[in-house]
Chain A
Amino acid sequence: MVDTFLFALMLGSLGCFWKGRRTLGQCLFLVALVGVALLLKHHMTDPLQISL
């Protein structure tokens, strides 16, 4: 659901740019960007299991 929501935010951002609402589009873009970064952080909580 989190991934779906982030894609929906990006689609909303594109829609805002289409409608000429640049500031709102940029805000939605930033929220999506931070969301993707946090999602990546969520998937990085486990330590790397690398053994040489």
Chain B
Amino acid sequence: MNDFLQRLGFWTCHFNILAVGAVLTSAFVVQFGAGELPCPLCIVQRMGMLLAILGTAAILLAARKGNVTPSEYATGYGMSILGAIVGGAGSLRQIALHVCDSGPGAGYGSPIMGYHLYTWALVVFTVVVAVSGFNLFSCRWLDPHRIQFGLFSKLTVWFVALLLAANMVAVFVEAGFHAFLPDNPTSYRLLDDLGLGASSGSDEANSILSAP
């Protein structure tokens, strides 16, 4: 039974990474498929999700020696909770910004299954905190022993690295050499600065914070 629970703890780490990774991948689909540029708060939420899965990735990487100590297990899930708290704060801020919007164009971006992406992000962060808390609570039984860091585990960690690199490149193209992203981005600033993109007006003029 103990052996089963310890393997379960190991595979839960994979599941956490793949579930949050799927959400981040769908954010890319919305960005490039639907052409909706992420705002600064969207990027903060992506960072929160990546920080959260960085914790579970650290557990997977610690498992390469075959065992994970309770300390390594607790550190990984502690990192996940910290990342989820910061990302959740970004989600709450964005929900608060649009809480009084009404009508068909309410909120930032298009709703998916009735909720905007930042609302879904808050749901994701809440689930991450709950799952991490449960794993910490069950650390005594779930911390992985006698497990094999195989090809699937390696691919899962590479998936995290790929997501980090893709987000880094995407945000660099969106922000260019400017320090911060505009409140309501309307174009990829690096392409605009290089004369390769079609700018659609001043970003500051469309500031979401100054919108009625």
Contacts and interface: CB of A to CB of B under 8 A. Distances in A.
B50 A10 contact: yes
Contacts of A29: 51, 54-55, 79
A10 B54 contact: yes
B67 interface: no
Contacts, number: 104
A7 B168 contact: yes
B8 interface: no
Nearest to A1: B179
Given A3-B172, A11-B168, A43-B180, 16 more contacts: A1-B172, A3-B175, A10-B50, A10-B51, A10-B54, A14-B164, A22-B62, A26-B75, A29-B55, A32-B47, A36-B44, A36-B51, A37-B86, A39-B44, A40-B93, A49-B209
Contacts of A26: 75, 79
Interface of B: 40-41, 43-44, 47-48, 50-51, 54-55, 57-58, 61-62, 72, 75, 79, 82-83, 86-87, 89-90, 93, 96-97, 99-100, 157, 160-161, 164-165, 167-168, 171-172, 175, 177-181, 183, 209-211
Interface bin, chain A: 20 to 34
Interface of A: 1-4, 6-8, 10-11, 13-14, 17-18, 20, 22, 25-26, 29, 32-33, 36-37, 39-40, 42-44, 46, 48-52
10 contacts: A3-B175, A14-B160, A18-B157, A29-B54, A32-B51, A33-B51, A36-B47, A40-B89, A43-B44, A51-B100
Contacts of B209: 46, 49
A26 B146 CA distance: 25
A1 B48 contact: no
A1 B61 contact: no
The residue in B82, B160, B165, B168 that gathers the most chain A C-beta atoms within 10 A of its C-beta is B168
A5 B45 CA distance: 16
Contacts of B62: 17, 22
A43 B54 contact: no
Contacts of A11: 161, 164-165, 168
Contact of B86 (A3, A8, A25, A33): A33
A50 B96 contact: yes
A36 B42 CA distance: 12
Contacts of B99: 50
